[in-house]
Structure 1
Amino acid sequence: MKKILVPCDFSASAIEGLHFAVELAAATSAAITVLSVISLQQQMDEFLVSEGFRENFENEVIKLRLPIPICHKIRLGKFAVSVIDAIAEERIDLVVIGTRGSRGWEGPFMGSNVEKIIKVSPVPVFAVKAKTHLAGIRNVVFPCDLMLSEHYGMTRLKKIQAELGATLHLLRIDTSGFLSRETLYDRIKEYAIFHGLSKYTINIVTDTDETAAILHFAKQLGADMIAMTTRGAADLNHLYMSSIAADVVNHAHLLTWTCIQQPVKQPV
């Protein structure tokens, strides 16, 4: 059975992430582990904080009337480290995080922590910005790097596309203008064929600001989700490296999905 990890402090945005995870779990026959992290600064009040987390969890479970297996774990420590450790120990397949969006990360989901998770998580990460339903995800923007090599991220992306029944809008941001649009189109087509993609469109945008171009294209399209694969923290020279993915996740007003191209564990 697939396992979904939901880091949750039971703030409003975190609850939206939990609700999306529940819907996803019900559709894919998955189990959910809700993870609440007590920071080192809260250590003196560990008992009270733990009781608060437990009460909030029980209230949400009763309210949602969940038809799926769900459990609650509480850890003391650094947020990002706790999440990455839980992924390994609980054999997690997917992480779902509720965030506040472009105004900044909420509660324990501070930018540096979420960026670390995006960079080093060995499994895909959904960042949920607002109430989102699976049935409404029909158009997914995917900035592609045109690399003709098999990797974990693309395998996972094709699987989630199939589960959603969505159209994949392949997007290439041309920052140099070195290649003609015809050449770029042919290379994107070759990329799609190599990876066995179906139900997709090809799109080329010329811009020097990749993050802004991705967000603008998604807004113009009326996209429901942005998906990005990265090489994580191990390869900082990669075009769509983790910092760009983190910028997109932080500033997007819609659901985002990120996944490293190879399931390698990196230190947090």
Structure 2
Amino acid sequence: MKKILVPVDFSEYSEYALEAAASIAKSQNAEIIALHMMGLSEAVINKNESKEVYEAMYYLKLAQKRFEEFLDKDYLTNVNVTDTVYNYKNFNEINDVAKEHGADLIVMGSHGTSGLTEVFVGSNTEKVVRTSEIPVLVIKGNPKQFLLENVVFACDFEKESIRAYQKAMKLFKGFDTNVYLLHVNLPNERFRSTSEIEEKVREFLYQADLGNLDALDNVVYVADYSVEDGVFSYSNKINADAIALATHGRKGLAHFFFGSVGEDLANHSDIPVLTFRI
């Protein structure tokens, strides 16, 4: 891993993301790119009138000054940090910024939601998770020393998830992470017998790992009333450092595997959530 992109709005949540990114950067000898998006209207940017020009310059200088204060953190000592300001207003465009800078990971802070009936639709974090072709790490609270020693990768073990699985395993290999591959069996139309699940998982790993079935030793089977409950329960049981998921990148509430599970987990989990685009 060489570069980590951290979108910054100067809130405490983006500081949580920055601190987590700093821990990762130190362990991987990576560079942090701190990104602030001003969101000025095209009218302000394109007009030649002095008032609009001065307004744009004012906001740019303000962002630069706030960066100086925001990046003055002890945990950034010995970390190579580059700050950059874009005028994008749409957070969907962060994917383009990440690719432009060659970022390997996006780290974002999010306050999420507290109640299971609430939905974090339309948030900046949700937009980035939905559109990013690059893995996105969502940090919900103060990470202190962020680690990726034990990670739960929740998977449906469908063929369309193979690419996301391969991306995840490649990233985790660089961290020497213990990865627990989790399948949640539900008491509904998705219910399968133990032998059916085991055969499905075996076929998935045989194809994903090119015939190598060593990962079978890391597969965990859990039965619960919802995927979210099963993932939470097992992740808390092993004190996981993060939950990893595959995402479809679709619009609306059905853009994650198993419906809105990815969104629910990213919003309601205090454990960091790492998403990989299918």
TM bucket by the smaller chain? 0.7 to 0.9
Deviations 1:193-222 (A, max 9, x none): 443364623222232x33333233323342
Partner residue in 2 for 1:219:
236
Q: TM-score, normalised by structure 1?
A: 0.80
- Report the alpha carbon displacement of residue 251 of structure 1 after superposing the two structures with TM: 0.8
- CA spacing shift, 1:115–1:63, aligned 2, 3 Å: closer
Asked whether the equivalents of residues 136 and 274 of structure 2 are also in contact (C-alpha less than 8 Å), the reply is yes
User: Secondary structure at the residue paired with 1:39?
Assistant: coil
Percent of aligned positions that are identical:
25
Partner residue in 2 for 1:140:
151
Partner residue in 2 for 1:115:
126
Partner residue in 1 for 2:11:
11
The CA distance in 1 between the partners of 2:102 and 2:256, in whole Å, is: 30
- Report the alpha carbon displacement of residue 54 of structure 1 after superposing the two structures with TM: 1.9
User: Secondary structure at the residue paired with 2:73?
Assistant: helix
1:204 lines up with 2:222 in the alignment:
yes
Residue 187 of structure 1 aligns to which amino acid in structure 2? K
Partner residue in 2 for 1:264:
none
- Report the alpha carbon displacement of residue 126 of structure 1 after superposing the two structures with TM: 0.4
Partner residue in 2 for 1:182:
195
Determine which of 187, 195, 202 is the counterpart of 2:208. Answer: 195
- Report the alpha carbon displacement of residue 18 of structure 1 after superposing the two structures with TM: 0.7
- CA spacing shift, 1:224–1:102, aligned 2, 3 Å: farther
Q: For structure 1, which runs of at least 5 residues remain unmatched after alignment?
A: 262-268
- CA spacing shift, 1:183–1:133, aligned 2, 3 Å: farther
Asked whether the equivalents of residues 233 and 242 of structure 1 are also in contact (C-alpha less than 8 Å), the reply is no
The worse-fitting range, judged by mean Cα deviation, of 24-33 and 149-158 is: 149-158
Alignment of 1:1-268 (within 5 A): 2-40=2-40, 46-64=56-74, 65-103=76-114, 111-132=122-143, 136-148=147-159, 151-175=162-186, 176=189, 178-196=191-209, 198=215, 200-207=218-225, 209-233=226-250, 240=257, 243-261=260-278
The worse-fitting range, judged by mean Cα deviation, of 223-232 and 71-80 is: 71-80
- CA spacing shift, 1:241–1:123, aligned 2, 3 Å: farther
- Report the alpha carbon displacement of residue 61 of structure 1 after superposing the two structures with TM: 3.5
User: Secondary structure at the residue paired with 1:232?
Assistant: coil
Residue 130 of structure 2 aligns to which amino acid in structure 1? K
Q: TM-score, normalised by structure 2?
A: 0.77
Number of aligned residue pairs: give it: 256
Asked whether the equivalents of residues 156 and 183 of structure 2 are also in contact (C-alpha less than 8 Å), the reply is yes
- CA spacing shift, 1:183–1:102, aligned 2, 3 Å: same
- CA spacing shift, 1:236–1:194, aligned 2, 3 Å: farther
Q: For structure 2, which runs of at least 5 residues remain unmatched after alignment?
A: 45-51
Q: Larger Cα Rg: Structure 1 or Structure 2?
A: 2
Deviations 1:171-200 (A, max 9, x none): 222233642123213432443444336462
Let me know the Cα RMSD of the aligned residues: 3.3
User: Secondary structure at the residue paired with 1:119?
Assistant: helix
The CA distance in 1 between the partners of 2:149 and 2:102, in whole Å, is: 29
User: Secondary structure at the residue paired with 1:214?
Assistant: helix
Partner residue in 2 for 1:265:
none
- Report the alpha carbon displacement of residue 169 of structure 1 after superposing the two structures with TM: 2.0
- CA spacing shift, 1:234–1:24, aligned 2, 3 Å: same
